[in-house]
Amino acid sequence: MDRNSLILGCVAIYMLSCIVIGLWAMTRTKSSHDFFMASRSLGFFVTGVAIFSSIMSGFGFVGGPGLVYAMGSSSLWILVSAPIGLALGFFLLGKRLRLLAELRDSVSLPDLAHARYQSRWVRLLVAVAILFGVITYLSVQIKAMALVLQEIFARNEIWGHESLFLCVCVSSVLLAFYCVTGGIIASVYTDVFQGLVMIAVAVLVFLTALASVEGGLAECVRTIQHDDAEAAGPWGTMGILGCLSWFFVFAFGSLGQPHVITKMMMSRRVEDVRFTAPLTMTGYVLTALLWISIGMVMRTHVLNGQHPDLSRADDAAAEFLYSYASPLLAGLTFAGLFAAIMSTADGFLNVGAAAVVHDIPQAIKGRSLRQELLWARIATGGLTILAAWFALASPDLVGILGTYGWGVFSAALAPCIGIGLNWKRATAFACIVSVLLSMLINAVAFALQLQGIFIPYGVSPGAVALLVSLLSFVLISLLSNPEPLAPDVDAVMDL
Protein backbone atom coordinates (compact mmCIF):
# COMPACT_ATOMS: atom_id res chain seq x y z
CA MET A 1 0.00 0.00 0.00
CA ASP A 2 1.52 3.37 -0.93
CA ARG A 3 1.79 6.38 1.35
CA ASN A 4 -1.24 8.25 0.01
CA SER A 5 -3.51 5.21 0.14
CA LEU A 6 -2.44 4.44 3.71
CA ILE A 7 -3.30 7.99 4.78
CA LEU A 8 -6.63 7.82 3.00
CA GLY A 9 -7.29 4.44 4.65
CA CYS A 10 -6.60 5.79 8.18
CA VAL A 11 -8.92 8.74 7.57
CA ALA A 12 -11.64 6.47 6.17
CA ILE A 13 -11.43 4.13 9.19
CA TYR A 14 -11.64 7.10 11.52
CA MET A 15 -14.68 8.54 9.73
CA LEU A 16 -16.42 5.16 9.82
CA SER A 17 -15.76 4.92 13.57
CA CYS A 18 -17.43 8.30 14.06
CA ILE A 19 -20.44 7.17 12.06
CA VAL A 20 -20.72 3.97 14.13
CA ILE A 21 -20.54 6.00 17.37
CA GLY A 22 -23.20 8.35 15.97
CA LEU A 23 -25.52 5.44 15.22
CA TRP A 24 -24.89 3.87 18.62
CA ALA A 25 -25.61 7.20 20.32
CA MET A 26 -28.86 7.52 18.38
CA THR A 27 -30.17 4.46 20.20
CA ARG A 28 -29.47 6.20 23.52
CA THR A 29 -31.02 9.54 22.53
CA LYS A 30 -34.69 9.37 23.49
CA SER A 31 -35.49 12.97 24.33
CA SER A 32 -34.30 16.53 23.77
CA HIS A 33 -32.80 16.39 27.28
CA ASP A 34 -30.61 13.48 26.14
CA PHE A 35 -29.85 15.32 22.90
CA PHE A 36 -28.65 18.52 24.59
CA MET A 37 -27.45 17.52 28.06
CA ALA A 38 -26.62 13.79 27.92
CA SER A 39 -28.96 13.57 30.95
CA ARG A 40 -26.15 14.98 33.15
CA SER A 41 -24.62 11.53 33.36
CA LEU A 42 -20.96 12.06 32.44
CA GLY A 43 -18.07 11.06 34.66
CA PHE A 44 -15.12 13.38 35.27
CA PHE A 45 -12.86 11.60 32.76
CA VAL A 46 -15.35 11.85 29.90
CA THR A 47 -16.14 15.47 30.78
CA GLY A 48 -12.47 16.45 31.09
CA VAL A 49 -11.44 14.93 27.76
CA ALA A 50 -14.58 16.31 26.07
CA ILE A 51 -13.78 19.83 27.30
CA PHE A 52 -10.18 19.93 26.13
CA SER A 53 -10.96 18.31 22.79
CA SER A 54 -13.67 20.93 22.27
CA ILE A 55 -11.15 23.71 22.87
CA MET A 56 -8.39 22.23 20.71
CA SER A 57 -10.22 22.44 17.43
CA GLY A 58 -9.44 22.77 13.74
CA PHE A 59 -8.36 26.23 14.76
CA GLY A 60 -5.66 24.63 16.92
CA PHE A 61 -4.62 21.75 14.67
CA VAL A 62 -4.76 23.51 11.28
CA GLY A 63 -4.93 27.23 12.07
CA GLY A 64 -2.40 27.06 14.93
CA PRO A 65 0.53 25.68 12.90
CA GLY A 66 -0.48 28.13 10.16
CA LEU A 67 -0.23 31.05 12.56
CA VAL A 68 3.21 29.96 13.83
CA TYR A 69 4.39 29.48 10.25
CA ALA A 70 3.13 32.94 9.26
CA MET A 71 3.86 34.98 12.39
CA GLY A 72 6.51 33.17 14.44
CA SER A 73 5.83 33.13 18.16
CA SER A 74 2.88 35.57 18.22
CA SER A 75 0.22 32.90 18.51
CA LEU A 76 1.98 31.32 21.50
CA TRP A 77 0.09 33.94 23.53
CA ILE A 78 -3.07 32.08 22.63
CA LEU A 79 -1.54 28.92 24.08
CA VAL A 80 -0.19 30.55 27.24
CA SER A 81 -3.63 31.99 27.90
CA ALA A 82 -5.05 28.47 28.28
CA PRO A 83 -3.94 27.72 31.87
CA ILE A 84 -5.37 30.97 33.23
CA GLY A 85 -8.41 30.70 30.97
CA LEU A 86 -9.22 27.20 32.17
CA ALA A 87 -8.55 28.19 35.78
CA LEU A 88 -11.03 31.05 35.39
CA GLY A 89 -13.50 28.67 33.79
CA PHE A 90 -13.34 26.09 36.55
CA PHE A 91 -13.20 28.52 39.48
CA LEU A 92 -16.04 30.73 38.25
CA LEU A 93 -18.29 28.30 36.46
CA GLY A 94 -17.41 24.70 37.35
CA LYS A 95 -19.52 24.54 40.49
CA ARG A 96 -22.02 27.31 39.78
CA LEU A 97 -23.13 26.09 36.34
CA ARG A 98 -23.54 22.52 37.50
CA LEU A 99 -25.60 23.47 40.57
CA LEU A 100 -27.88 25.83 38.65
CA ALA A 101 -28.32 23.32 35.81
CA GLU A 102 -29.48 20.67 38.28
CA LEU A 103 -31.64 23.10 40.23
CA ARG A 104 -33.49 24.38 37.17
CA ASP A 105 -33.14 21.28 34.99
CA SER A 106 -31.61 23.51 32.31
CA VAL A 107 -30.55 22.24 28.92
CA SER A 108 -28.70 25.30 27.65
CA LEU A 109 -26.77 28.42 28.59
CA PRO A 110 -29.64 30.81 27.75
CA ASP A 111 -31.82 28.72 30.11
CA LEU A 112 -29.39 29.52 32.91
CA ALA A 113 -29.09 33.16 31.88
CA HIS A 114 -32.89 33.38 32.12
CA ALA A 115 -32.88 31.76 35.54
CA ARG A 116 -30.21 34.17 36.76
CA TYR A 117 -31.55 37.43 35.32
CA GLN A 118 -35.26 36.55 35.08
CA SER A 119 -35.47 38.32 31.74
CA ARG A 120 -36.72 37.00 28.42
CA TRP A 121 -34.63 39.62 26.66
CA VAL A 122 -31.49 38.25 28.24
CA ARG A 123 -32.46 34.75 27.15
CA LEU A 124 -33.15 35.94 23.60
CA LEU A 125 -29.97 37.97 23.27
CA VAL A 126 -27.74 35.26 24.72
CA ALA A 127 -29.30 32.77 22.28
CA VAL A 128 -28.81 35.15 19.34
CA ALA A 129 -25.19 35.83 20.38
CA ILE A 130 -24.60 32.08 20.53
CA LEU A 131 -26.05 31.63 17.05
CA PHE A 132 -23.95 34.51 15.73
CA GLY A 133 -20.77 32.97 17.18
CA VAL A 134 -21.70 29.40 16.20
CA ILE A 135 -21.97 30.28 12.52
CA THR A 136 -18.57 31.99 12.58
CA TYR A 137 -16.70 29.40 14.58
CA LEU A 138 -18.37 26.44 12.93
CA SER A 139 -17.31 27.82 9.57
CA VAL A 140 -13.70 27.74 10.86
CA GLN A 141 -14.03 24.04 11.58
CA ILE A 142 -15.64 23.26 8.23
CA LYS A 143 -13.03 25.26 6.37
CA ALA A 144 -10.17 23.58 8.23
CA MET A 145 -11.63 20.15 7.56
CA ALA A 146 -12.20 20.95 3.90
CA LEU A 147 -8.63 22.22 3.41
CA VAL A 148 -7.18 19.01 4.83
CA LEU A 149 -9.58 16.83 2.82
CA GLN A 150 -8.71 18.80 -0.30
CA GLU A 151 -5.02 17.97 0.18
CA ILE A 152 -5.74 14.28 0.80
CA PHE A 153 -8.05 13.96 -2.21
CA ALA A 154 -5.64 15.82 -4.46
CA ARG A 155 -2.72 13.58 -3.46
CA ASN A 156 -4.85 10.52 -4.14
CA GLU A 157 -5.90 12.00 -7.47
CA ILE A 158 -9.57 11.76 -6.49
CA TRP A 159 -10.28 15.47 -6.92
CA GLY A 160 -7.93 18.29 -7.89
CA HIS A 161 -6.77 21.22 -5.77
CA GLU A 162 -9.64 23.32 -7.13
CA SER A 163 -12.18 21.18 -5.25
CA LEU A 164 -12.68 23.28 -2.11
CA PHE A 165 -16.42 23.51 -2.69
CA LEU A 166 -16.80 19.73 -2.92
CA CYS A 167 -14.63 19.23 0.17
CA VAL A 168 -16.74 21.72 2.12
CA CYS A 169 -19.82 19.70 1.09
CA VAL A 170 -18.29 16.38 2.17
CA SER A 171 -17.14 17.87 5.50
CA SER A 172 -20.55 19.37 6.20
CA VAL A 173 -22.46 16.20 5.37
CA LEU A 174 -20.24 14.09 7.62
CA LEU A 175 -20.47 16.53 10.52
CA ALA A 176 -24.21 16.91 10.19
CA PHE A 177 -24.70 13.14 10.04
CA TYR A 178 -23.23 12.20 13.35
CA CYS A 179 -24.51 15.29 15.16
CA VAL A 180 -28.04 14.89 13.79
CA THR A 181 -28.19 11.23 14.69
CA GLY A 182 -26.56 11.20 18.08
CA GLY A 183 -26.76 14.74 19.50
CA ILE A 184 -24.60 15.47 22.51
CA ILE A 185 -24.21 11.80 23.45
CA ALA A 186 -22.50 11.10 20.14
CA SER A 187 -20.59 14.32 20.60
CA VAL A 188 -19.11 13.61 24.03
CA TYR A 189 -18.28 9.97 23.35
CA THR A 190 -16.60 10.80 20.06
CA ASP A 191 -14.88 13.63 21.95
CA VAL A 192 -13.28 11.06 24.25
CA PHE A 193 -12.18 8.88 21.35
CA GLN A 194 -11.03 11.97 19.44
CA GLY A 195 -9.29 13.50 22.48
CA LEU A 196 -7.21 10.38 23.07
CA VAL A 197 -6.25 10.21 19.38
CA MET A 198 -5.27 13.89 19.52
CA ILE A 199 -2.98 13.47 22.54
CA ALA A 200 -1.20 10.49 21.03
CA VAL A 201 -0.56 12.10 17.67
CA ALA A 202 0.42 15.48 19.14
CA VAL A 203 3.22 13.93 21.19
CA LEU A 204 4.43 11.77 18.30
CA VAL A 205 4.31 14.66 15.83
CA PHE A 206 6.21 16.91 18.23
CA LEU A 207 9.05 14.38 18.43
CA THR A 208 8.99 13.71 14.68
CA ALA A 209 8.96 17.40 13.84
CA LEU A 210 12.00 18.22 15.93
CA ALA A 211 13.83 15.16 14.59
CA SER A 212 13.20 16.35 11.02
CA VAL A 213 15.51 19.34 11.57
CA GLU A 214 19.18 18.60 12.00
CA GLY A 215 20.09 20.31 15.26
CA GLY A 216 16.53 20.07 16.59
CA LEU A 217 14.78 22.88 18.42
CA ALA A 218 17.95 24.98 18.79
CA GLU A 219 18.49 24.96 15.03
CA CYS A 220 14.86 25.98 14.43
CA VAL A 221 15.23 28.93 16.80
CA ARG A 222 18.56 29.96 15.23
CA THR A 223 17.18 29.81 11.67
CA ILE A 224 14.03 31.76 12.47
CA GLN A 225 16.00 34.31 14.49
CA HIS A 226 18.63 34.73 11.78
CA ASP A 227 15.91 35.54 9.26
CA ASP A 228 13.95 37.82 11.58
CA ALA A 229 14.84 38.28 15.27
CA GLU A 230 11.34 39.53 16.09
CA ALA A 231 9.72 36.34 14.80
CA ALA A 232 11.58 34.36 17.49
CA GLY A 233 11.03 37.03 20.15
CA PRO A 234 8.15 36.95 22.63
CA TRP A 235 5.76 38.95 20.45
CA GLY A 236 6.51 37.33 17.09
CA THR A 237 5.83 39.43 14.02
CA MET A 238 2.50 40.66 15.42
CA GLY A 239 3.90 42.93 18.13
CA ILE A 240 3.12 43.43 21.79
CA LEU A 241 -0.38 44.91 21.57
CA GLY A 242 -1.72 42.32 19.16
CA CYS A 243 -0.34 39.48 21.30
CA LEU A 244 -1.68 40.87 24.57
CA SER A 245 -5.09 41.46 23.01
CA TRP A 246 -5.16 37.80 21.96
CA PHE A 247 -4.07 36.83 25.48
CA PHE A 248 -6.99 38.78 26.95
CA VAL A 249 -9.60 37.41 24.57
CA PHE A 250 -8.48 33.82 24.94
CA ALA A 251 -7.96 33.91 28.73
CA PHE A 252 -11.03 35.74 29.98
CA GLY A 253 -12.99 34.81 26.89
CA SER A 254 -12.88 31.14 27.81
CA LEU A 255 -15.74 31.97 30.20
CA GLY A 256 -17.92 32.71 27.21
CA GLN A 257 -17.33 29.65 25.02
CA PRO A 258 -20.69 27.87 25.08
CA HIS A 259 -19.42 24.64 23.49
CA VAL A 260 -16.91 24.35 26.35
CA ILE A 261 -18.80 25.56 29.40
CA THR A 262 -22.01 23.75 28.51
CA LYS A 263 -20.08 20.50 29.07
CA MET A 264 -19.49 21.59 32.67
CA MET A 265 -23.27 21.28 33.15
CA MET A 266 -23.26 17.62 32.12
CA SER A 267 -21.14 15.99 34.80
CA ARG A 268 -22.76 13.44 37.05
CA ARG A 269 -21.68 15.00 40.36
CA VAL A 270 -20.72 18.55 41.34
CA GLU A 271 -17.53 17.33 43.01
CA ASP A 272 -16.30 15.88 39.70
CA VAL A 273 -15.21 19.31 38.45
CA ARG A 274 -12.33 19.14 40.91
CA PHE A 275 -10.68 16.38 38.85
CA THR A 276 -11.98 17.55 35.50
CA ALA A 277 -9.86 20.72 35.74
CA PRO A 278 -6.35 19.14 35.80
CA LEU A 279 -7.38 16.53 33.24
CA THR A 280 -8.51 19.20 30.80
CA MET A 281 -5.35 21.20 31.40
CA THR A 282 -3.05 18.21 30.81
CA GLY A 283 -4.82 17.29 27.57
CA TYR A 284 -4.61 20.82 26.28
CA VAL A 285 -0.91 21.24 27.09
CA LEU A 286 -0.02 17.97 25.37
CA THR A 287 -2.01 18.69 22.21
CA ALA A 288 -0.57 22.20 22.03
CA LEU A 289 2.80 20.57 21.22
CA LEU A 290 1.50 19.93 17.70
CA TRP A 291 0.49 23.59 17.24
CA ILE A 292 3.98 24.82 18.14
CA SER A 293 6.16 22.20 16.53
CA ILE A 294 4.66 21.92 13.05
CA GLY A 295 4.52 25.68 12.46
CA MET A 296 8.05 26.25 13.69
CA VAL A 297 9.58 23.34 11.80
CA MET A 298 7.84 24.25 8.54
CA ARG A 299 9.01 27.86 8.85
CA THR A 300 12.54 26.56 9.40
CA HIS A 301 12.45 24.17 6.43
CA VAL A 302 11.10 26.86 4.08
CA LEU A 303 13.64 29.45 5.28
CA ASN A 304 16.47 26.93 4.83
CA GLY A 305 15.28 26.15 1.32
CA GLN A 306 14.63 22.50 2.23
CA HIS A 307 10.94 22.83 1.42
CA PRO A 308 9.22 24.86 -1.29
CA ASP A 309 7.44 28.03 -0.26
CA LEU A 310 3.83 27.49 0.90
CA SER A 311 1.13 29.40 -0.92
CA ARG A 312 -1.16 29.26 2.14
CA ALA A 313 0.00 29.22 5.76
CA ASP A 314 -2.95 26.93 6.55
CA ASP A 315 -1.25 24.22 4.46
CA ALA A 316 1.63 23.94 6.95
CA ALA A 317 0.16 20.97 8.85
CA ALA A 318 -0.81 18.95 5.77
CA GLU A 319 2.51 19.69 4.01
CA PHE A 320 4.48 18.65 7.06
CA LEU A 321 2.64 15.37 7.42
CA TYR A 322 3.03 14.46 3.75
CA SER A 323 6.68 15.43 3.60
CA TYR A 324 8.23 14.56 6.97
CA ALA A 325 6.07 12.08 8.92
CA SER A 326 6.02 8.31 8.41
CA PRO A 327 2.95 7.15 6.44
CA LEU A 328 1.33 5.55 9.47
CA LEU A 329 1.91 8.57 11.69
CA ALA A 330 0.67 10.85 8.91
CA GLY A 331 -2.48 8.75 8.58
CA LEU A 332 -3.05 8.77 12.35
CA THR A 333 -2.39 12.49 12.54
CA PHE A 334 -4.79 13.27 9.74
CA ALA A 335 -7.34 11.26 11.70
CA GLY A 336 -6.33 13.35 14.74
CA LEU A 337 -6.83 16.55 12.72
CA PHE A 338 -10.34 15.47 11.86
CA ALA A 339 -10.84 14.49 15.49
CA ALA A 340 -9.90 17.98 16.63
CA ILE A 341 -12.18 19.57 14.10
CA MET A 342 -15.18 17.34 14.58
CA SER A 343 -15.03 17.31 18.37
CA THR A 344 -15.42 21.08 18.39
CA ALA A 345 -17.89 21.33 15.55
CA ASP A 346 -20.30 18.90 17.19
CA GLY A 347 -20.33 21.03 20.33
CA PHE A 348 -21.19 24.10 18.28
CA LEU A 349 -23.94 22.35 16.41
CA ASN A 350 -25.40 21.22 19.67
CA VAL A 351 -25.50 24.64 21.36
CA GLY A 352 -26.62 26.26 18.11
CA ALA A 353 -29.51 23.82 17.70
CA ALA A 354 -30.52 24.39 21.32
CA ALA A 355 -30.60 28.14 20.67
CA VAL A 356 -32.85 27.71 17.63
CA VAL A 357 -35.37 25.17 18.86
CA HIS A 358 -35.35 25.72 22.59
CA ASP A 359 -34.10 29.14 23.68
CA ILE A 360 -35.40 31.52 21.03
CA PRO A 361 -38.96 30.03 21.09
CA GLN A 362 -38.85 30.07 24.92
CA ALA A 363 -37.86 33.74 24.86
CA ILE A 364 -40.49 34.75 22.31
CA LYS A 365 -43.42 32.43 23.02
CA GLY A 366 -42.62 31.30 26.54
CA ARG A 367 -42.43 27.63 25.48
CA SER A 368 -40.23 25.34 23.39
CA LEU A 369 -41.24 23.98 20.01
CA ARG A 370 -43.39 20.87 19.91
CA GLN A 371 -41.41 17.81 18.83
CA GLU A 372 -38.24 19.51 20.06
CA LEU A 373 -36.03 16.52 19.27
CA LEU A 374 -37.10 16.41 15.62
CA TRP A 375 -36.62 20.17 15.22
CA ALA A 376 -33.25 19.96 16.95
CA ARG A 377 -32.10 17.54 14.27
CA ILE A 378 -33.45 19.74 11.49
CA ALA A 379 -31.81 22.83 13.02
CA THR A 380 -28.48 21.00 13.22
CA GLY A 381 -28.64 20.37 9.47
CA GLY A 382 -29.65 23.98 8.74
CA LEU A 383 -26.83 25.44 10.82
CA THR A 384 -24.31 23.23 9.04
CA ILE A 385 -25.44 24.54 5.65
CA LEU A 386 -25.23 28.16 6.83
CA ALA A 387 -21.74 27.68 8.29
CA ALA A 388 -20.59 25.91 5.11
CA TRP A 389 -21.69 28.91 3.07
CA PHE A 390 -19.81 31.24 5.44
CA ALA A 391 -16.67 29.08 5.17
CA LEU A 392 -16.74 29.36 1.40
CA ALA A 393 -17.44 33.09 1.42
CA SER A 394 -14.73 34.08 3.92
CA PRO A 395 -11.25 34.69 2.51
CA ASP A 396 -9.46 34.69 5.91
CA LEU A 397 -6.88 32.24 7.25
CA VAL A 398 -8.40 29.54 9.45
CA GLY A 399 -6.41 30.88 12.42
CA ILE A 400 -7.57 34.46 11.96
CA LEU A 401 -11.18 33.42 11.42
CA GLY A 402 -10.85 31.32 14.59
CA THR A 403 -9.66 34.24 16.70
CA TYR A 404 -12.62 36.21 15.40
CA GLY A 405 -15.13 33.46 16.28
CA TRP A 406 -13.66 33.06 19.77
CA GLY A 407 -13.82 36.84 20.21
CA VAL A 408 -17.51 36.95 19.31
CA PHE A 409 -18.40 34.47 22.05
CA SER A 410 -16.02 36.04 24.57
CA ALA A 411 -17.33 39.56 24.32
CA ALA A 412 -20.98 38.60 24.31
CA LEU A 413 -21.07 35.93 26.99
CA ALA A 414 -18.05 36.12 29.33
CA PRO A 415 -19.25 39.12 31.39
CA CYS A 416 -22.91 38.04 31.65
CA ILE A 417 -22.22 34.40 32.38
CA GLY A 418 -18.73 34.36 33.91
CA ILE A 419 -19.21 37.29 36.26
CA GLY A 420 -23.00 37.44 36.34
CA LEU A 421 -23.44 33.97 37.80
CA ASN A 422 -21.11 34.93 40.65
CA TRP A 423 -22.24 38.47 41.37
CA LYS A 424 -25.69 39.14 42.76
CA ARG A 425 -25.49 42.84 41.98
CA ALA A 426 -25.25 42.25 38.19
CA THR A 427 -28.45 43.38 36.49
CA ALA A 428 -30.41 42.22 33.46
CA PHE A 429 -30.13 45.67 31.89
CA ALA A 430 -26.31 45.57 32.22
CA CYS A 431 -26.31 42.16 30.59
CA ILE A 432 -28.52 43.32 27.70
CA VAL A 433 -26.38 46.41 27.04
CA SER A 434 -23.11 44.46 27.17
CA VAL A 435 -24.33 41.72 24.80
CA LEU A 436 -25.73 44.26 22.33
CA LEU A 437 -22.56 46.38 22.39
CA SER A 438 -20.34 43.35 21.90
CA MET A 439 -22.32 42.11 18.90
CA LEU A 440 -22.41 45.58 17.38
CA ILE A 441 -18.64 46.10 17.73
CA ASN A 442 -17.83 42.66 16.35
CA ALA A 443 -20.21 43.07 13.40
CA VAL A 444 -18.81 46.51 12.53
CA ALA A 445 -15.23 45.26 12.88
CA PHE A 446 -15.99 42.30 10.61
CA ALA A 447 -17.63 44.53 7.99
CA LEU A 448 -14.61 46.87 8.08
CA GLN A 449 -12.21 43.92 7.77
CA LEU A 450 -14.02 42.84 4.61
CA GLN A 451 -13.28 46.36 3.29
CA GLY A 452 -9.60 45.92 4.23
CA ILE A 453 -9.76 48.24 7.27
CA PHE A 454 -8.11 46.80 10.40
CA ILE A 455 -7.51 48.00 13.96
CA PRO A 456 -3.90 49.30 14.20
CA TYR A 457 -1.15 47.22 15.85
CA GLY A 458 -2.99 43.99 15.02
CA VAL A 459 -5.29 44.43 18.01
CA SER A 460 -8.06 41.82 17.92
CA PRO A 461 -11.58 43.25 17.45
CA GLY A 462 -12.69 40.70 20.03
CA ALA A 463 -10.43 42.32 22.64
CA VAL A 464 -11.93 45.76 22.02
CA ALA A 465 -15.46 44.33 22.11
CA LEU A 466 -14.68 42.39 25.31
CA LEU A 467 -13.26 45.46 27.06
CA VAL A 468 -16.30 47.57 26.13
CA SER A 469 -18.67 44.78 27.06
CA LEU A 470 -16.97 44.22 30.45
CA LEU A 471 -16.81 47.91 31.21
CA SER A 472 -20.49 48.47 30.44
CA PHE A 473 -21.52 45.35 32.36
CA VAL A 474 -19.66 46.18 35.58
CA LEU A 475 -20.30 49.94 35.43
CA ILE A 476 -24.05 49.71 34.75
CA SER A 477 -24.48 47.05 37.42
CA LEU A 478 -22.64 49.17 39.99
CA LEU A 479 -24.69 52.24 39.11
CA SER A 480 -28.08 50.44 39.09
CA ASN A 481 -30.25 49.50 42.01
CA PRO A 482 -29.80 45.81 42.86
CA GLU A 483 -32.55 43.59 41.43
CA PRO A 484 -34.17 40.81 43.46
CA LEU A 485 -33.11 37.32 42.40
CA ALA A 486 -35.25 34.21 42.22
CA PRO A 487 -35.05 32.79 45.77
CA ASP A 488 -33.61 29.43 44.67
CA VAL A 489 -30.96 31.05 42.48
CA ASP A 490 -30.15 33.46 45.28
CA ALA A 491 -29.65 30.55 47.64
CA VAL A 492 -27.41 28.67 45.21
CA MET A 493 -25.31 31.77 44.60
CA ASP A 494 -24.63 31.81 48.34
CA LEU A 495 -22.91 28.43 48.19
Partner 1 sequence: MNRFHFMLLCVLVAAAMLTYALLNPEPANGHGVSHARFAAMRQGGSAARHEGMLVAGWCYGTAQLVFFALCLPLGLKRDDQATSSPRRWFLAVTLAYVVTFTMVLICYALGMDEPLLSPFWDIPWATCWSVFGMWIVPLLYTVLYLWRFPDWVFTSEDQQRFQEIKRRFGRDACDG
Per CB under 8 A, contacts with partner 1 among 2-61 are none
Closest CB to partner 1 among residues 1, 495? 495
Query: Is residue 105 involved in binding partner 1 (CB under 8 A)?
Result: yes
Binding characters for partner 1, 399-418, by CB under 8 A (x = yes): -------------------x
Please tell me whether residue 323 binds partner 1 under the rule CB under 8 A: no
Is 209 a binding residue for partner 1 by CB under 8 A? The answer is no
At residue 382's C-alpha, the angle toward residues 340 and 399, to 5°, is: 35
* Candidate list 144, 265, 310, 353; residue touching partner 1; CB under 8 A: 310
Q: Is 481 in the site for partner 1 (CB under 8 A)?
A: no
- Check binding of 484 to partner 1 (CB under 8 A): no
Q: How many CB atoms lie within 10 A of CB 160?
A: 10
3-state secondary structure the chain: CCHHHHHHHHHHHHHHHHHHHHHHHHHHCCCHHHHHHHHHCECHHHHHHHHHHHHCCHHHHHHHHHHHHHHHHHHHHHHHHHHHHHHHHHHHHHHHHHHHHHHHCCCCHHHHHHHHHCCHHHHHHHHHHHHHHHHHHHHHHHHHHHHHHHHHHHHCCCCCCCCHHHHHHHHHHHHHHHHHHHHHHHHHHHHHHHHHHHHHHHHHHHHHHHHCCCCHHHHHHHHHHHHCHHHHCCCCCCCHHHHHHHHHHHHHHHHHCHHHHHHHCCECCHHHHHHHHHHHHHHHHHHHHHHHHHHHHHHHHHHCCCCCCCCCHHHHHHHHHHHHCCHHHHHHHHHHHHHHHHHHHHHHHHHHHHHHHHHHHHHHHCCCCCCHHHHHHHHHHHHHHHHHHHHHHCCCCHHHHHHHHHHHHHHHHHHHHHHHHHCCCCCHHHHHHHHHHHHHHHHHHHHHHHCCCCCHHHCCHHHHHHHHHHHHHHHHHHHCCCCCCCHHHHHHHCC
Q: How far is the CB of 53 from partner 1 (least distance, A)?
A: 18
Question: From residue 213 to residue 252, what is the string marking binding to partner 1 with x (rule CB under 8 A)?
Answer: ---xxx--xx--x-xxxxxxxxxxxxxxxx-xx-xx--xx
Site string for partner 1, 58-77 (x = CB under 8 A): -----------xxxxx--xx
| C-beta of 21 vs 470, nearer to partner 1 | 470
Do residues 359 and 127 lie in contact, with contact meaning Cβ atoms separated by under 8 Å? yes
Binds partner 1 (CB under 8 A): choice among 62, 79, 138, 411 = 79
Binding status of residue 144 toward partner 1 by CB under 8 A: no
Exposure string for 310-342, b = 16+ CB within 10 A, e = fewer: beebbbbbbbbbbebbebebbbbbbbbbbbbbb
By C-beta, is 270 or 392 nearer to partner 1?
270
Name the segment binding partner 1 (CB under 8 A); options: 12-20, 91-99, 146-154, 325-333: 91-99
Q: For partner 1, give the closer residue by CB, 16 or 475.
A: 475
User: Least separation, in Å, of the C-beta of 136 and partner 1?
Assistant: 22
Residues 415 to 454 in contact with partner 1, rule: CB under 8 A: 418-419, 422-423, 425
Report, in Å, the least distance between residue 282 CB and partner 1.
Answer: 10
CB of 399 to partner 1, least distance (A): 11
What's the min distance (Å) between Cβ of 163 and partner 1?
20
Provide the minimum distance between the beta carbon of 69 and partner 1 in the complex, in angstroms, as a whole number. Answer: 7
How far is it, in rounded angstroms, from Cα 261 to Cα 347? 10
CB of 88 to partner 1, least distance (A): 6
274 lines the binding site for partner 1 (CB under 8 A)? yes
Q: Between 316 and 388, whose beta carbon lies closer to partner 1?
A: 316
- Give the residue, chosen from 169, 474, 480, 485, that forms a contact with partner 1 under the rule CB under 8 A: 474
Residue 287 Cβ, how far from partner 1 at the closest point, in Å? 14
Q: Among 9, 160, 278, 482, indicate the residue that binds partner 1 (CB under 8 A).
A: 278
Nearest distance, CB of residue 150 and partner 1, angstroms? 16
Of 39-47, 55-63, 123-131, 473-481, which segment contacts partner 1 by CB under 8 A? 473-481
Which of 39, 203, 312, 480 is the binder for partner 1 (CB under 8 A)? 312
Contact pick of 277, 325, 340, 412 for partner 1 (by CB under 8 A):
277
303 near partner 1 (CB under 8 A) = yes
90 touches partner 1 (CB under 8 A): yes
C-beta closer to partner 1: residue 381 or 418: 418
* Alpha-carbon 325 to chain mean position: 26
- Report the b/e string of 24-52 with b at 16+ CB within 10 A: ebbeebeebbbbbbbbbebebebbbbbbb
The Cα–Cα gap between 459 and 275 comes to 35
Under the binding rule (CB under 8 A), the answer on residue 203 touching partner 1 is no
Q: How many chain residues are in contact with partner 1, going by CB under 8 A?
A: 100
Single residue of 102, 159, 203, 323 touching partner 1 by CB under 8 A: 102
Tell whether residue 464 is a contact of partner 1 (CB under 8 A). Answer: yes
